[in-house]
Structure 1
Amino acid sequence: MKETRLTLAGAALNQTPLDWDNNLQNIKDAITEAITHNVDILLLPELCITSYGCEDLFLSPWLGEEAFDKLLQIKEWCVGITVCVGIHIWIDKQVYNTACVIKNQEILGFTAKQFLAKDGIHYEPRWFTEWPANQVGEFEMKGQKYRIGDIIYEEQGVTYAFEICEDAWRPNRPAERHMAKGVQLILNPSASHFALSKTDLRYRLVVEASKKYKCTYLYANLLGNEAGKVIYDGEVLIAQNGKLIKRNDLLCFKSVDMEVAEVTFTDSPVAEETIHYLPTIDENKELMAALSLGLFDYMRKSHSRGFVLSLSGGADSSLCAVAVAEMVRRGIASLGVLGFVAKTQLFSLKDAAYFDTLTKEQVACELVGRLLTCAYQGTVNSSDDTYTSAKELADSIGARFYSWTIDEQVKGYTSIIEGAIDRPLTWAEDDVTLQNIQARVRAPAIWMLANIKGALLLATSNRSEAAVGYATMDGDTAGSISPIAGIDKAFVRQFLIWAQKELGYQGLQYVNNLQPTAELRPAKEAQTDEKDLMPYEVLNQIERLAFYDRYSPQEVYNKLLEAGVADAETIKGWLQKFYSLWSRNQWKRERYAPGFHLDDYSLDPRSWLRFPILSGGFRSELNEIKAL
């Protein structure tokens, strides 16, 4: 073929389900920016008109009609450019996830997704129908007929086709067929959720595909906390013949993040300008970036006025506080002071002018003070160490800090019950009751602060606690959002040490010197989490083997024994405790506040791991292990 140069662009968009104004504005801004760069083909993410997270609304015909009306509106903006837009299409009561190709205000066709994601957090087969390979059909909408299916398109002599997100992750992916048909460019509009270290897999998927299929590969992902739980990193990749041409910075605070590259197509194309990118994954950096963007989008999309946090001085609440501080710091770095302030939609022009006069450090502390309110709620069982940890951390990041005690409220509830049952409550007989009332009494006042501020209450539960129900329902589980519910306690502890050393949060030095404890029993008992449960590293191993790798209890036992984690009797005791607590506490996991999906799996029964509330509790399986 003759040499052809095409200017390609991929744009990550921060979309929101059913937010037509936001979604269309981002699409229009992306098209406008692409036109100014003389782009030939612009790729936008999967289902970007409605947004990907509409869930069961995809089954409502009216949503499909509304989305198509928006598509016709978008079509008129595509002057002198080809734009690929994600939209779902209804045909004969079946719903298809498609990429629509618009060239110079004309719709050329719709490519339908062929493989639907159905593992982990994905439920696509509930809404969509897979399109058969190599088939092209036709449908009518609003008096006009359109092509749909496995279509190959052409731009200035260059042939191109699609893989839509999950399509590229399957062994018999569409690219296998596209290569035999001489396709030179593959476009991949995606809604690929964030998980720790996942960007490395995605990078290799794209770059290696461009080499194997001797093509140029353009990939564009969604960006931000789209619908509440799932965060998208906004990755844009352009690769040719195994060489990376463009890659953007992930998890930025922009509404539109675009990468543009001029690519040459010949019989034997060679990427002229490449970047040498070797993925070096730092999961601590990834977590901080995802948490901060996730919180920012959750706050602004829920129209909340910041966050309220019961800051105990322990690891979990300390991480939540630092995440808000980092949200401010990263937001300012990404958007600038005025851009960040404007995007929150919380401040007046007078406030914005004031913020603009401050130094970088001053404005970060000032904004944290406006957006994060913390309270330490002590009891007779609380220590000076945890108070100091909470106070020093709040002061160091600029958060508003309150402190009060809850002993009178605890005493009030205790005396009511003692009068009703006509006996005193004792630690020997009523241990769990006396621990839980302290955690529950902390909830009303902190909720009051959240209501007064019009803010989101941060729940501080982590994944390890959720696994065994080591949390008080309606106490420390209370909240509007549980940002660290998707990560385990061992990760939390090492992360805080990293944040102190690498990010400069010196206020963490106090919590990093403490042993995790609920501080609900009298101080003389020296209560610690791991004494109540088991070593967190072991708890995490059992949890992953049981519910990610899906081994039976006996297989888990064998693997722990083979690994030399402990002696046989100790492992048996840990497994007895883990599986018993796991089974008993599914009802708690059903009631936790929404949490972010941050790892390659989670315990969220609404989006990853379903388990019966009532069960036999692995009794037979545990008895078999006892007998070994």
Structure 2
Amino acid sequence: MGRTATVAVSTLNQWAMDFDGNSKRIFQSIQEAREAGATYRSGPELEICGYSCEDHFYEPDTLLHSWEVLAELLRSNLCENILVDVGMPVMHKNVTYNCRVAFLNHKILLIRPKMQLCDDGNYRESRWFSPWTKERTVEDYFLPRMIGQITGQSLVPFGDAVISTRDTCIGFEICEELWNPASNHIPMAYDGVEIIANGSGSHFELRKAYVTYDLVKSASFKAGGCYMFSNLRGCDGTRLYFNGGSCIAVNGKILNRGQQFALEDVEVTFATFDLEEIRCYRNSVRSRSHTAAKAQPYPRVKVDFALTTDNLIWDPPDRFIECDNCFADKKYHSDHQHWEKKLYCPPEEEISLAPACWLWDYLRRSGQGGFFLPLSGGIDSSATACLVYSMCCLVIRAVVAGDCQVLADLRRIIGDPKYDPKSPEKLCNIILVTCYMGTENSSIDTRSRAANLASEIGSYHLSIGIDTAVTAILGIFQQVTKFSPKFRVQGGSPRENLALQNIQARLRMIIAYLFAQLMLWVRGRPGGLLVLGSGNADESLRGYFTKYDCSSADINPIGGISKDDLKKFLEFFRQSYGITALNSILEAQPTAELEPLHEDGVVAQLDEIDMGMTYKELGTFGRLRKQNCAGPFSMFCKLVYMWDNCTPKEVADKVKHFYRCYAINRHKMTVLTPSCHAETYSPDDNRFDHRPFLYNHTWKWQFNAIDNQVKQMIDEKWTRQPRRVTVAPEYKHGGPKPFNSLVYPGVVV
């Protein structure tokens, strides 16, 4: 007994193609792992070059610079007497693989390529990499000369192998291999591998966090052993936010874990455990032992090194304290006491944190001086403003905690090397400019709601009228055509009515960019502002926005979030931050305010009436379309039983109306402002939802099938006698409720 080993996992905020910054963060993580007494450090997926290099993976430069960073690591005395593995792309026999490279004391031990690639959702790994399909097979890899000059090696093993030290055995999984039904950790555990390291690039998605922790716990519970999960953090250059949460589990219990949402560039999480506990646990599960006795062996790379010490009792450095049978950094101890009770945040809190962290990374890496937000006083733009305020709160918290990197980034953004942030409101006043752009169609209520919210969060707020610009544009048209378009209430046609609305919406975009480029000049600061969009996922799905209006911005933090989730987020934010201005915003009905008001000044235009469907219905359409892969006919067959308050004819009309609007407006997705990915039914066709943007909007064949089904139901005097079947994944722990399809005889689903 007394075989204690200390291992460390790293959460790194890497940036695609930032080899200099990435290497510094890797070095820092190794330094912190050593200070914690760790003898093994593992890191996230493709940490050297950054995960989201995408088509840069085709460039020889990317491979070359990755080797150059590895050369710096191999040379460094910092990496002596600690086993390290890092993630990088490696070309072997003219095929590029996503690899882990393990090294010790200036020698490469093993290059382990990824065996299961991720190609669903936001991922396209097989576009750049090939999977290693030769199970339990290694080949000779000829090292680049610049590496061989450092290590004294010419050949190293490449393939599906494990590392055998004097006291234990270490194996590898890479991200998707944990999620795959045929995970590698099971056969490795059968063959005596006691520590399994997973370098991962797992992105944020609402209600997903518990899945990752459950998989890690399950892997170590079912197979026994230590499972080390290292994940990326932050925005590394795309729509994804990697949400950290690196953790270490032993025998089904998470010993320690990193923060899910934070601004720190480097966070090292470590745990100390007894190898004998793993052996005892595995031996006690007799069925596992019987299966393991006939397991096929893995190639072993033998190394004269031990992860454990000769001391029976490990003596941690002074900066660590024992907590719940593991050791934690005092810096995070107060949080650590509670994380086992709260492994993951509720969706509303996730929304308040993930897009805010994503905004911070985008701002500090874009070279801009803040944000400009058209603030209408509605739910969407108010939610966007609250996310910037949340970002400011996170920045203040990090600075108070002593994060020098956050403070340095903040001072560079603001252009003041001595700036000392005092409060989130004062920081928000410097970082965020909000602007209410009113017309004669705008109400007093929306103007006051925007002003009240801006006052509470502290943004630098403007309230302007744009009627002069609208009149000037119409004047040009009238001068050329001698025609004067009218609104619907004034007797105009639908074309005239829509054109008059779109003029206002598009002018707001033009004005937003003008102010964004010059407001810091007006305020005596260098640089410009990033324009924030505020269109939600449901409106994008329906196409309920003007192409190239103020939804066309630099980035959109809420573009991947549904209206329903935004409402819940604002309710949470109101309670958590005490922002009373949100009361009236949540109570108001959504409106674009692009048509004339009633004579008494009351809004005449409401979004849900304009769209011909509710936001709740839109969310249902979106989930069935994306998550359940439903076309028009199968969507009708599911909804006719879900919506039991509607007749089959009414359901058919709703489905056909949605698909007509979807087809007519799908082209708008091609210019959708990049947004932080959040919902599993995002319609973003630039990355997540690859579908045509030119449709036959009549859907003649599909709609005929729906009409025939409705006729059959009427002829057979259809009644509901349901049996329930689940048609979407059921999420627990506060996740989304499952969609239940009611399936009946006579209806083909």
TM-score by length of 1: 0.95
- 1:119-130 to 2 correspondence within 5 Å? 119-130=120-131
- The alpha-carbon distance between structure 1 residues 347 and 468, as it changes in their structure 2 partners (threshold 3 A), is closer
Match among 391, 411, 418 for residue 451 of structure 2: 391
Give the aligned partner of residue 32 of structure 1: 31
Question: 1:532 aligned to 2:533?
Answer: no
Give the aligned partner of residue 441 of structure 1: 507
Aligned partners of 1:158, 1:413: CA distance in 2, in Å?
75
- 1:223-622 to 2 correspondence within 5 Å? 223-266=233-276, 267-268=279-280, 273=325, 276-277=340-341, 279=343, 281-336=345-400, 339=404, 340-344=406-410, 345-347=412-414, 351-353=418-420, 355=421, 358=422, 363-427=423-487, 428-429=492-493, 430-452=496-518, 453=520, 454-524=528-598, 526-533=604-611, 534-563=613-642, 564=644, 566-617=646-697, 618-622=699-703
**Is the contact between residue 238 and residue 244 of structure 1 (CA under 8 Å) also seen in structure 2?**
yes
- Alpha-carbon shift at residue 262 of structure 1 (Å): 0.9
Mean Cα displacement is larger for which, 462-471 or 421-430?
421-430
Aligned partners of 2:130, 2:86: CA distance in 1, in Å?
19
- The alpha-carbon distance between structure 1 residues 450 and 156, as it changes in their structure 2 partners (threshold 3 A), is farther
Give the aligned partner of residue 87 of structure 1: 88
Aligned partners of 2:155, 2:371: CA distance in 1, in Å?
50
- Alpha-carbon shift at residue 507 of structure 1 (Å): 2.4
Aligned partners of 2:624, 2:41: CA distance in 1, in Å?
43
SS at match of 1:554: helix
Aligned partners of 1:445, 1:202: CA distance in 2, in Å?
44
SS at match of 1:510: helix
Aligned partners of 2:615, 2:324: CA distance in 1, in Å?
50
**Is the contact between residue 164 and residue 170 of structure 2 (CA under 8 Å) also seen in structure 1?**
yes
Give the aligned partner of residue 177 of structure 2: 167
- Alpha-carbon shift at residue 626 of structure 1 (Å): 3.5
Aligned partners of 1:565, 1:26: CA distance in 2, in Å?
57
- Alpha-carbon shift at residue 278 of structure 1 (Å): 5.7
Give the aligned partner of residue 729 of structure 2: none
Aligned partners of 2:21, 2:645: CA distance in 1, in Å?
52
CA displacement, residues 472-492 of structure 1 (integer Å, 9 cap, x when unaligned): 111122210011110111221
Aligned partners of 1:191, 1:350: CA distance in 2, in Å?
34
CA displacement, residues 602-627 of structure 1 (integer Å, 9 cap, x when unaligned): 21112111111222233321233234
Mean Cα displacement is larger for which, 132-141 or 50-59?
132-141
CA displacement, residues 137-157 of structure 1 (integer Å, 9 cap, x when unaligned): 121122332211111112341
SS at match of 1:423: coil
Provide the identity percentage.
Answer: 30
- Alpha-carbon shift at residue 235 of structure 1 (Å): 1.3
**Is the contact between residue 11 and residue 258 of structure 2 (CA under 8 Å) also seen in structure 1?**
no
Alignment root-mean-square deviation, CA: 1.8
**Is the contact between residue 134 and residue 150 of structure 1 (CA under 8 Å) also seen in structure 2?**
yes
Give the aligned partner of residue 59 of structure 1: 58
Question: 1:42 aligned to 2:3?
Answer: no
Aligned partners of 1:474, 1:494: CA distance in 2, in Å?
28
The letter of the residue matching 1:201 is V
CA displacement, residues 168-195 of structure 1 (integer Å, 9 cap, x when unaligned): 1111111121022111111001000111
Give the aligned partner of residue 717 of structure 2: none
CA displacement, residues 471-516 of structure 1 (integer Å, 9 cap, x when unaligned): 1111122210011110111221222122112332222123112100
Mean Cα displacement is larger for which, 264-273 or 323-332?
264-273
Give the aligned partner of residue 722 of structure 2: none
CA displacement, residues 348-370 of structure 1 (integer Å, 9 cap, x when unaligned): 566424x3xx4xxxx21111011
Aligned partners of 2:116, 2:244: CA distance in 1, in Å?
22
- The alpha-carbon distance between structure 1 residues 590 and 475, as it changes in their structure 2 partners (threshold 3 A), is same
CA displacement, residues 215-257 of structure 1 (integer Å, 9 cap, x when unaligned): 1111010011111311011111111111111112211100101
SS at match of 1:352: coil
Mean Cα displacement is larger for which, 273-282 or 91-100?
273-282
**Is the contact between residue 233 and residue 251 of structure 1 (CA under 8 Å) also seen in structure 2?**
yes
- Alpha-carbon shift at residue 95 of structure 1 (Å): 0.6
SS at match of 1:596: coil
Aligned partners of 1:619, 1:301: CA distance in 2, in Å?
48
SS at match of 2:396: helix
- Alpha-carbon shift at residue 124 of structure 1 (Å): 0.3
**Is the contact between residue 622 and residue 681 of structure 2 (CA under 8 Å) also seen in structure 1?**
no
- Alpha-carbon shift at residue 277 of structure 1 (Å): 4.3
> Any unmatched runs of 5+ in structure 1?
none
**Is the contact between residue 199 and residue 230 of structure 2 (CA under 8 Å) also seen in structure 1?**
yes
SS at match of 1:545: helix
Mean Cα displacement is larger for which, 65-74 or 557-566?
557-566
- Alpha-carbon shift at residue 337 of structure 1 (Å): 7.5
SS at match of 1:445: helix
Question: 1:114 aligned to 2:195?
Answer: no
SS at match of 2:419: helix
> Any unmatched runs of 5+ in structure 2?
146-153, 283-322, 327-338, 521-527, 711-749
Aligned partners of 2:170, 2:212: CA distance in 1, in Å?
20
**Is the contact between residue 512 and residue 550 of structure 2 (CA under 8 Å) also seen in structure 1?**
no
**Is the contact between residue 6 and residue 37 of structure 2 (CA under 8 Å) also seen in structure 1?**
yes
SS at match of 2:196: strand
Mean Cα displacement is larger for which, 285-294 or 522-531?
522-531
**Is the contact between residue 632 and residue 656 of structure 2 (CA under 8 Å) also seen in structure 1?**
no
Give the aligned partner of residue 140 of structure 1: 142
**Is the contact between residue 341 and residue 347 of structure 1 (CA under 8 Å) also seen in structure 2?**
no
Give the aligned partner of residue 213 of structure 2: 203
- Alpha-carbon shift at residue 276 of structure 1 (Å): 4.0
Aligned partners of 1:466, 1:128: CA distance in 2, in Å?
32
SS at match of 1:163: strand
The letter of the residue matching 1:142 is P
- Alpha-carbon shift at residue 601 of structure 1 (Å): 3.8
**Is the contact between residue 564 and residue 616 of structure 2 (CA under 8 Å) also seen in structure 1?**
yes
SS at match of 1:130: coil
- The alpha-carbon distance between structure 1 residues 161 and 601, as it changes in their structure 2 partners (threshold 3 A), is farther
